[in-house]
Amino acid sequence: MNYTFKWSVLWSGQSGQWLLQGLVTTLELSALAWVLAVALGILSGALRTVPFRPLRWGATFYVEFFRNVPLLVWMFFWYFGVPPLLPRVAQDWVFNHGAEFWAGTIALGVYHGARMSEVIRSGIGAIPRTQFEASVAMGLTTFQAYRLVILPVALRLIVPPGTNESLNLLKNSSVALTISVAELTFQTRQIETYTAKAIEALTAGTLIYLVLCLSIATIMARVERHYAIPGLISRAKAG
């Protein structure tokens, strides 16, 4: 067959502008969702290890419920399922003020929060129980022991799996196009609509995601080295 490549479609017309807009939307969506995911992850990850049982149950329910349903379903849930619960006036207001974007952010953040929670729980699990006991013996309350001793150590331990999860979040932001968020993948399709050159557009999208993820991975590798606790992360010297 004859498929003629025409890479110029990527910089002629409005393509460059669309890709840039898509990139900005992807970054905004991912950054906000990441903040939400980390906050929910730390909270629920810590709650899953506390001595008080009902709190553990609540956190376990959140994690298992949200991580075991596909992200696509959560996108539809937050976009189609939640707004009808609001009064009509509020619905109209939300629909006129970027409901798609916020539904996408919440879906992504809450879903990845559940996954992040497991990462943080495993970090806490890696800290010897005696550290918690020693903190309490020194007169700290449970909350203080978590805030001052357990979490600071756990967060430094989980940088590598945390990076992995963050990259997943960034790439999963593309699912938001199903609820009409004009992010990067959406814009590559847009270029395809205008030019009928799908392979070129998809390649551009692929390269942008690749560069984005590689940059984040590089930065995080530095963070990891900088915050590594000697004796707890063996890669500290090797890396």
Partner 1 sequence: MTRILALVLTLAVALTATPALAQDTLEKIRSTGALTIGTRTGSPPFAYVNKNNEWVGFSIDLVEQLIKPEVEKAVGKAIKVEKKESTPPTRIPLLSSNSVDLIAGTMTDTPQRRETVDFSLTFFYTGAQFLVKKGSPIKGVNDIAGKRIASQQASTNAKILREKYPQAQLREFPDQPAAFQALLQGQVDAFTNDGIQLAGLKSKAPNPGDWEIVGDFYSEEPYGMAMRKGDAKFKAAVDAGLKKGFESGKYFEIYDKWFGPKGELPYPMTPQVKAYLLKQIGK
Separation of alpha carbons 156 and 151, rounded Å: 8
Separation of alpha carbons 136 and 151, rounded Å: 15
Separation of alpha carbons 199 and 206, rounded Å: 10
Q: Which residues contact 10 (CB under 8 A, 6 or more apart)?
A: 16, 19, 191, 200, 201, 204
**Is residue 3 near partner 1 by the rule CB under 8 A?**
yes
**Is residue 2 near partner 1 by the rule CB under 8 A?**
yes
**Is residue 17 near partner 1 by the rule CB under 8 A?**
no
**Is residue 159 near partner 1 by the rule CB under 8 A?**
no
Residues 198-217 that bind partner 1 (CB under 8 A): 198-199, 202-203, 206-207, 210, 214
Separation of alpha carbons 74 and 80, rounded Å: 10
Q: Which residues contact 165 (CB under 8 A, 6 or more apart)?
A: 37, 112, 115, 116, 119
Choosing from 11, 52, 57, 80, the residue that interacts with partner 1 (CB under 8 A) is: 80
Residues 176-195 that bind partner 1 (CB under 8 A): 177-180, 182, 186, 189-190, 192-195
**Is residue 84 near partner 1 by the rule CB under 8 A?**
yes
Residue that the structure tokens 């992995």 belong to = 164
The distance of closest approach from Cβ of residue 51 to partner 1 in the complex, given in angstroms and rounded to an integer, is 45
Contact set with partner 1 (CB under 8 A): 1-5, 76, 79-80, 83-84, 91-92, 95-96, 99-100, 177-180, 182, 186, 189-190, 192-199, 202-203, 206-207, 210, 214
